[in-house]
Amino acid sequence: MEKSIKHTISLLVSNKPGVLTRVALVFARRGFNIDSLVVSKAQSPEFSRMNIEATGDERTLNLVLAQLNRLIDVIHAVDHANEDVIQRELALFKVSCPPEKRTEVLQIAETFRGQTVDIGDETITLQVTGKSLKVDAFHTMMDPFGILELVRTGKVLMSRGKAATA
């Protein structure tokens, strides 16, 4: 049995209703779970860019990519698992934070270049951006304080230099 690894796939697709459903069905039919999905307009309004993070084996991923590239509304789909690309994620953490813990929580947030977006009597909401590993590490540091809510955007990515993101 092949080893499952994380794949970061970018797609350029036509900006039309139903495209997301057709793309998601390709993953579902092959038993690939989508861990993260971000969709936004591309530089041209007739196209959208999708960034999908999924876990699975290499052979099945190749079949998924071939199927995606055959869909009419998919301009191209590429796996960036082994490429040097710029990747970022944003997360909002609402943490239990009585006044006596506030300094400690804010010092940890500062270490991660986090930003305070809301402070209540017993809570603090922090924003952290960066690679997924950084967001995961911040999550680990906030766990002991009690995370009340967590929202993550999923990965966005872009090719480095002059190369266009596939």
Domain boundaries, the chain: 5-83, 86-156
pLDDT at res. 118: 97
Q: Are strands 85-96 and 123-130 parallel, antiparallel or unpaired?
A: antiparallel
For residues 32 and 77, is the Cβ–Cβ distance under 8 A?
A: no
DSSP 90: E
Asked if CATH classification 3.30.70.260 holds for the domain at 5-83, the reply, yes or no, is yes
Average pLDDT over residues 125-153: 96
Residue 3 has pLDDT above 90, yes or no: no
Architecture of domain 86-156 in CATH? Answer: 2-Layer Sandwich (3.30)
Q: Do 5-83 and 86-156 share a fold?
A: yes
Q: If you average pLDDT over every residue of the chain, what do you get?
A: 92
**CA dihedral for 124, 130, 132, 136, sign (positive or negative):** negative
Q: Is the pLDDT of residue 1 over 70?
A: no
- The 10s digit of each residue's pLDDT in 131-144 is 999 999 999 999 99
> CB–CB of 91/153 below 8 Å?
yes
